[in-house]
Amino acid sequence: MIAEIVSPPPTSRGAEITTTASIDWLEFTTHGHKAHDVRNLIAHYLNSDLTLVDHGRYRYDAQFVGPGKSCVMWSPRRDDVHVALPGEACHMLGEPQMRGLMAMVHAWGAPTRIDLAMDFAGADRMKPAQVFDAVMRGEYVGHVRRENRRLTVDAAGGATFSCGKRGSNQYLRVYDKEIESQGAIAATRWELEYRDEAACSLLDAQMMRRWGPVWSERLVQFADFRIRSSDTNTSRTSRAHWFAELVGNAKRAKVYDPSPPKTLEDSESWLLRQVARSFAKVLAGHGGDLDFVSKLAAAGKARFTAHDRMLIDQALGGAA
């Protein structure tokens, strides 16, 4: 069963274009959990066992591999376990199962990569070459440099429009899924790839909201298409008609904290400004029970990054 939601098109053109949102890649790291426990959890979601192999990946010494090229990687000398679920593995999950898995990732660790895809089917769907033509007409609005907005064609005749640098925190691909799937999926796929901090904020949105609107908001934040001649101020220009057929009147998503804390003192100041009132309200609702504080701290510790650990080590004078 595929982890996807079929949504009505964000347009009045009825059934001429249909859309399907799906999670096409999920990768995350968890700290303080045993590899066998993580393997058992992934096996539960995939409803299939994972097998130990005699080599690792991604600089880990060992790994379990399972259906859909899923893998759970770890090293005896490290306290982290890394999980990679490519598209084939993600498509084995139903939408409720994928939401449950993302909630587990939120509680146990942090995502390092999430791909959110939208398939557009129908005779009127835009093809990658047409999207690139719109870029060349000057309709693209975004911060990706010209040299990183390109169209490529493979040996099978499949065209791909890419926007951004592969491996960066945000990356967009538009390609002919019908050719890539050898006719199994007659659609144009718009795929947003997020890593690290950008993936963390996407995970929070994906757990609770419909994926179609999340995809639209994320896409226009990264790459919008507008008729530049409609106004001298880009923010007031009209959205290109063909692009409005895809995203409607979606507003730009908030991907990053505008001022991420850089030191422990910055973190303390941010907590006082942004969280103190909500924290006090929840704590009061628990009758002042400090068990809630312990649970909150444990959940946060499980999601420490290497940078977090470095700041703690510095604050404790190397004692952490």
Please tell me whether residues 137 and 204 are part of one structural domain. yes
Indicate whether this model's pTM tops 0.85.
Answer: no
- Counting every residue written for the chain, the total comes to 320
Q: Which two tokens stand for residue 81?
A: 């376990």
Quick check: 126 pLDDT over 50?
Answer: yes
Please tell me whether residues 144 and 222 are part of one structural domain. yes
Kindly state whether residue 257 falls inside one of the protein's structural domains: no
Please tell me whether residues 273 and 241 are part of one structural domain. no
User: Using CA atoms, how far apart are residues 151 and 141, in angstroms rounded to an integer?
Assistant: 17
> What confidence tier does 17 reach under pLDDT thresholds 50, 70, 90?
low
Least confident window among 42-51, 105-114, 122-131, 211-220:
122-131
> What confidence tier does 232 reach under pLDDT thresholds 50, 70, 90?
low
Q: Which residue, 16, 20, 27, 28, is CA-closest to 3?
A: 20
Contact between 50 and 64 under an 8 Å Cβ cutoff? The reply is yes
* Mean pLDDT, range 284-308, rounded to an integer: 80
What is the span of the domain harbouring residue 165?
4-247
Please tell me whether residues 206 and 309 are part of one structural domain. no
Query: Per-residue pLDDT tens for 188-223?
Result: 999 999 999 899 889 988 888 889 999 999 999 999
Please tell me whether residues 53 and 195 are part of one structural domain. yes
Note the pLDDT of residue 62.
95
Kindly state whether residue 105 falls inside one of the protein's structural domains: yes
Please tell me whether residues 105 and 175 are part of one structural domain. yes
Please tell me whether residues 166 and 282 are part of one structural domain. no
Quick check: 319 pLDDT over 50?
Answer: no
Structurally, the chain folds into a number of domains equal to: 2
Kindly state whether residue 253 falls inside one of the protein's structural domains: no
Q: When comparing pLDDT for 49 and 270, which is higher?
A: 49
User: Using CA atoms, how far apart are residues 177 and 85, in angstroms rounded to an integer?
Assistant: 20
Please tell me whether residues 170 and 272 are part of one structural domain. no
Please tell me whether residues 186 and 273 are part of one structural domain. no
Q: When comparing pLDDT for 319 and 131, which is higher?
A: 131
Residue 299 CB neighbour total at 10 angstroms: 12
Query: Per-residue pLDDT tens for 136-172?
Result: 999 999 999 999 999 999 887 889 999 999 889 999 9
